[in-house]
A and B are shown apart, each in its own frame.
Chain A
Amino acid sequence: MSPLPFDPLLVSIAAPLALALAIALGLPKRWSVLLAYGAFAIPVLMALHVWWHFGDAAKDHGYAFLTRYSTGLDGLGIGLKLGLNGISLPLFVLAALVGFAAGLYAIQSGAERLKIYLMLLLIMQGGLMGVFASVDIFFFYFFHELALIPTFIMVGVWGGRDRSYAAMKLTIYLTLGAMVSLLGLIMLYVKSGAHTFDLIALRDHLAAHPLAATVQNNIAGLLLFGLGVLVSLWPLHTWAPLGYGAAPSSAAMLHAGVLKKFGVYGLIQVALPLLPDGLAYWAHPLAWLAVIGNVLIVGLITIAQRDLKQMIGYSSVMHMGYAFLGIAAGGIIGPGGVVFLMVAHGLSVALLFLLATAIYHRTQTFAMDEMGGLAQKTPVLAAFFVAATLASIGLPGFANFWGELAIFVALWKFSPLITALAVAGVVISAVYGLRSAARVFFGPPTAELAKVTAAHFPADLTWKERFPALILLAALLFIGFWPKSLTTPINAALTPQISAKIGNATGR
């Protein structure tokens, strides 16, 4: 238990949701904005608190801070059970940090109908904290959907170009993914015979009564398809760049940075321990799909992008390919590297989306052809952008490097050929990353940009914009220079799973 007199996990979920409800019931705007600072900060404080105390907290099956609240569905084996293990802890902290940054950025952006905008963002934030704190699979799914709904509305109402089309496409794709994964989860519930959605109880039950191979394959197939759509597995990825291109910056930060990780997280947290044989069955098709589709094809498409925001959207699709590769590779290092990469990518992509919007405010365009030479006028913005780009490419010193490295190491044992192709992807990401930085910030300014900047001289990044960006960049560097802060809990969570599996195999 934590030394706090209340449950930090429940508070971090409830605080944003409570404020969202208060806004919906007619809280005045001044108070809404003022309290929003608090509602976004509370999850960060709680997350840092649990992170600090995680090491010496009492644990059950690797889960610390366990509490259970009944919602009246005990008969079905459903209850709001909260807790964190070494896999969910890093993502819980990530959700809190990115949410805080996105919230701060939203407040300073002064969007139209700011109150409603903040309300939706708060619902997203509460849902996200819930996703990673839930030990009950039903609530894990439930909170994901809760966080997903505001995205649709935010894209549709506050979005940019093609917002109506993008919102519709996003909704249909993500509903498809969510419904198919729900089908998989229901199948898991019924077939396991445990009559519970509690992950810990399910794990114990399935360790004693493993599922038949075909059942595992079917469930794993459903989950891979459903969650794959949610994580933009090629060729069902087309919603992502379009949606992110149209989404307002804070929504894109939270969705691309955190919410999209739900699918990969689900595979690692649910499918890996419960359906190991099912995942192994699909490992090869999944790895080929990820490396050819997500890494190479989407990587090349990313190079061809002219629109800065779309490019970032495509690059996030590409990086999710590495996450799938890590899951396919298996072992401890593969999934461990994926968790690491998810945190790192979440921070860097959120930072990139934030900076892209900051650039837009100065150039009035997302078209990279019409920019150039911005570094002379806005050196701080340029420095941030270059740093974020280098992080996203995977330069040592940034968190992303460790994640990708671990995945490649694990992948080598799985298939050297796929590893070679995946490493080629790093070159691709270097090409588009550096090219975009060069086009936007260096070289002579284009005629179009000169016209815009002549009318409004572009100011450098203001402190209100710098602060959320600094949070994200600092976290990236912190993890990059001290990876042990993440690897210790991840190792602790993954090792018993794998050794249990080996024990099972030798026991048979």
Chain B
Amino acid sequence: MTLEAVKLAAEANQWGAIFPELLLACLALALLALEIVLPKKLHAYIPDVALAGLVGTLGGLLVNFHSASLGKESFNGLLLHSPGGQVMRVFFLLTAMLVCILARVSLAKQKVPRIEFYHLVLIITGAMMLLAQSNHFVMFFVALETVTIGFYILVAYFRTKTASLEAGLKYLVMGALSSGMLLFGIVLLYGVAGNPTLPGHSASAMHYPALAQFLVANPHNFLAGVGIVLVLVGVAFKIGAFPFQIWVPDVYQGAPTPVTAFLAVGSKAAGFAVLLVLTRDVFASYDWLVTPALTAMAAATILFGNIAALTQHNVKRLIGLSGVSHAGFLLLGVVALSGPVASVSATGAIYFYLFAYLIASFAVFGVMAHIAGVDDSEQTLDHYAGLAKENPFLATILAIGLGSLAGIPPLAGFMGKFFIFMAAFEGGARWTLVLAVVGVVISIYYYFGWIKAAFFEQWTPPADTADPRPARTPVNVVSGIALGCLALASIFIGFYQGPLGQWLTMK
């Protein structure tokens, strides 16, 4: 290799463009190093280092939001730095911060190693950020696998609990299956797009623009169609869309609460970030296939998620299944984007929905982390009895979070649903929209049932037996501030979108 070639390669690898991800990776390693170096009594502060690092990274990213590399490819086309990618980076950093805050509450109740948890969260976050910006199937798959493998460990993190271990195994098997399908789809696409007898073939068919070009030139290739469907199936597993949602309730129940939150928000959003890029930019010429497939999936997901959540008594299963229905609403936005009359506001609507969902979900998960006892997987509605009287702060946060998830105005969740519905109507998904409205009405029942459990039920402790409700963790300053901010943000964004709204309606 000549010096020239090395120089060229170095220029193509713009390390500066992925500075936030590098920072997270270094921070993750630093945490492990700190555990070795620091004396034992200082170990309690290592999570604070992780949190401070995340806050710093987020601050740096926000300051440098319109970076020089925006709109350019880097690493020979492996990554594409788009405004959407920047938004998702912010999203994942916020998610990671909140997961770390929840973990401080939840891990304190268990006898498990602490530092590795934060290490894994940071690694996964970095991988998700790369995933959202991937522009090449190799980058896409490697980042996705990093995320998934990290989650295998996190889901089974409470290793003395059978529920957690079982969830880990289920997630492993299902994850492997979905990765296999995804890989098969990628290989099919790569193979058919590399066929030199077809027009528009390319030697680097894993590169999104090259693949998109090939698909435009061959709009009705059967093998490419199969490949596309398999890729979509792989992504559908990650977002928990029907009929690939079967792992959701069990894994969500068994996983530690912060990990459930991470799965429900981070993993799902990563799936949608990828789906958005794929359907809008890469598979656009196959909308005859993608749109009906996604429409059917959206309709089934909304109905299944809401109906299945109706009968749940365990709140972790409940929130998991309600998360399935949220995936359905988000899919509705993707449908609006891929349909024959693409809605201009759909992309913004999906991002807005994701942020509203992040804020509301973490408010609810934060309350769950405080209510949960030692047995993290057994959290039922009964445990919320009398919460309004005994801890009005947590009860209020819960009500605001659930109200936002249910899409009740004036909370942010309502605006998210409203934008998605508008986009879906413009995109021509009329009948799915009707189903979505039915879904919202059904969802009121279980969200409201949860609020009812916390507010309406009078709690009288049984005289003969001990109180079956686990002891509630007192709210400390950090999580109190975080939860308060989440609740206020839900209200504020619902009333006033301001610059967010201007950005949202940007064409």
A-side interface residues toward B, CB under 8 Å? 24, 71-76, 141-142, 145-146, 149, 152-153, 156-157, 163-164, 167-168, 171-172, 175-176, 179-180, 182-183, 186-187, 189-190
Q: A145-B408, A145-B409, A172-B441 are in contact. Are A76 and B505 (CB under 8 A)?
A: yes
Q: Which residues of B contact A176 (CB under 8 A)?
A: 441
* Contact B409 A146, beta carbon cutoff 8 Å: yes
Chain B interface residue count: which class? 35 or more
B410-446 residues with Cβ-Cβ distance < 8 A to A are 410, 414, 418, 421-422, 425-426, 433-434, 437, 440-441, 444-445
B399 to chain A, nearest CB (A): 8
Q: Which residues of B contact A145 (CB under 8 A)?
A: 408-410, 414
Q: Which residues of A contact B33 (CB under 8 A)?
A: none
Q: A156-B456, A182-B418 are in contact. Are A76 and B425 (CB under 8 A)?
A: no
B506 interfacial by beta-carbon distance below 8 Å? yes
Q: A75-B505, A167-B452 are in contact. Are A183 and B434 (CB under 8 A)?
A: yes
* Contact B456 A164, beta carbon cutoff 8 Å: yes
Interface string of B492-507 (1 = CB under 8 A from A): 0001111111101110
* Contact B425 A187, beta carbon cutoff 8 Å: yes
Q: A72-B500, A157-B455, A167-B456 are in contact. Are A172 and B444 (CB under 8 A)?
A: yes
Q: A153-B455, A179-B437 are in contact. Are A186 and B422 (CB under 8 A)?
A: yes
Q: Which residues of A contact B437 (CB under 8 A)?
A: 179-180, 182-183
From B447, which residue of chain A is reached at the shortest CB distance? A171
Q: A71-B497, A145-B408, A186-B422 are in contact. Are A168 and B440 (CB under 8 A)?
A: no
B425 to chain A, nearest CB (A): 5
* Contact B495 A71, beta carbon cutoff 8 Å: yes
The answer for the CA separation of A175 and B345 in the assembled complex, in Å, is 25
B459 interfacial by beta-carbon distance below 8 Å? no
29 A-B pairs with C-beta separation under 8 A: A71-B495, A71-B501, A72-B496, A72-B498, A72-B500, A72-B502, A73-B497, A73-B505, A74-B502, A74-B505, A75-B504, A75-B506, A76-B501, A76-B505, A141-B409, A145-B410, A145-B414, A146-B409, A152-B448, A156-B456, A167-B448, A168-B448, A168-B449, A172-B444, A179-B440, A179-B441, A182-B437, A186-B422, A190-B425
* Contact B456 A157, beta carbon cutoff 8 Å: yes
Q: Which residues of B contact A180 (CB under 8 A)?
A: 437
Q: Which residues of A contact B410 (CB under 8 A)?
A: 142, 145-146
A226 to chain B, nearest CB (A): 10
Q: Which residues of B contact A175 (CB under 8 A)?
A: 440-441, 444
The answer for the CA separation of A71 and B434 in the assembled complex, in Å, is 28
Q: Which residues of B contact A163 (CB under 8 A)?
A: 456
Q: Which residues of B contact A189 (CB under 8 A)?
A: 422
Interface string of B373-414 (1 = CB under 8 A from A): 000000000000000000000001000000100001110001
The answer for the CA separation of A175 and B306 in the assembled complex, in Å, is 15
**What is the total of A-B residue contacts with beta carbons within 8 Å?**
88
Q: A156-B456, A157-B456 are in contact. Are A72 and B425 (CB under 8 A)?
A: no
Q: B501: which of A73, A141, A167, A186 is its contact (CB, 8 Å)?
A: A73
The answer for the CA separation of A175 and B426 in the assembled complex, in Å, is 23
The answer for the CA separation of A146 and B495 in the assembled complex, in Å, is 10
Q: A142-B409, A183-B433 are in contact. Are A156 and B455 (CB under 8 A)?
A: yes
Q: Which residues of B contact A179 (CB under 8 A)?
A: 437, 440-441
> Which 6 pairs between the two chains have the least Cβ-Cβ distance?
A75-B505, A72-B501, A145-B409, A72-B498, A72-B497, A73-B501
A114 to chain B, nearest CB (A): 15
* Contact A75 B501, beta carbon cutoff 8 Å: yes
Q: Which residues of B contact A75 (CB under 8 A)?
A: 501-502, 504-506
Interface string of B164-181 (1 = CB under 8 A from A): 000000000000000000
From A174, which residue of chain B is reached at the shortest CB distance? B444
Output the residue of B345, B410, B449 with the most chain A CB within 10 A: B410
The answer for the CA separation of A482 and B396 in the assembled complex, in Å, is 47
From B392, which residue of chain A is reached at the shortest CB distance? A116
From B437, which residue of chain A is reached at the shortest CB distance? A179
The answer for the CA separation of A72 and B498 in the assembled complex, in Å, is 4
The answer for the CA separation of A145 and B409 in the assembled complex, in Å, is 6
Interface string of B104-117 (1 = CB under 8 A from A): 00000000000000
* Contact B441 A71, beta carbon cutoff 8 Å: no
